[in-house]
Amino acid sequence: MRSALAYMPLNTVEDTWIVIMERAPQHEKLSEFIDYFVEQWMSNPLLPTALWNVNDQRHGTNNAVEGWNSKLNRMISTQQPNVKILVKCLKDEANNISHVIRSRDLGEFEVKRKKCVQLDQRLENIMKDFEIFQKMSHVLSHVVKID
């Protein structure tokens, strides 16, 4: 559940975190993790919630970064490259990125893998369902007050 916090609307993150903590089983290691998480992510003035919250962003994962890292490792193809090899690979990648940017400027886009498209759609549906749930909860809270 903790990983879902980044996808929650920013104004619900703290309340959601409270619910997670209330439902968490009592365990020493889990308590240590919770303390770390609160200190590092929830209460850290250098890393405000708005910085790591991805609710309003299309890509909420680091898959692109992981993919680039994997590509760079394949390009280098050695465990401990020297600086010359690393610089050459980075220059090649910079040229590639320039080409990608020019292609996008011309209206050419990469085709996303079907699995990625499906995951994006699933996440979007979950977030829409959550928004509907929030609106219904708000309306129901008024109905309950009337009775």
Domain regions of the chain by residue span: 4-51, 61-110, 113-146
- Which is more confident, 99 or 63? 99
pTM equals 0.49
Q: How confident is the model at residue 58 (pLDDT cuts 50, 70, 90)?
A: low
Looking at residue 43, its pLDDT comes to 92
- Span 131-143, pLDDT tens digits: 888 888 877 777 7
Q: For residue 26, what is the enclosing H or E element?
A: none
Measure the CA–CA gap between 137 and 147, rounded to whole angstroms: 16
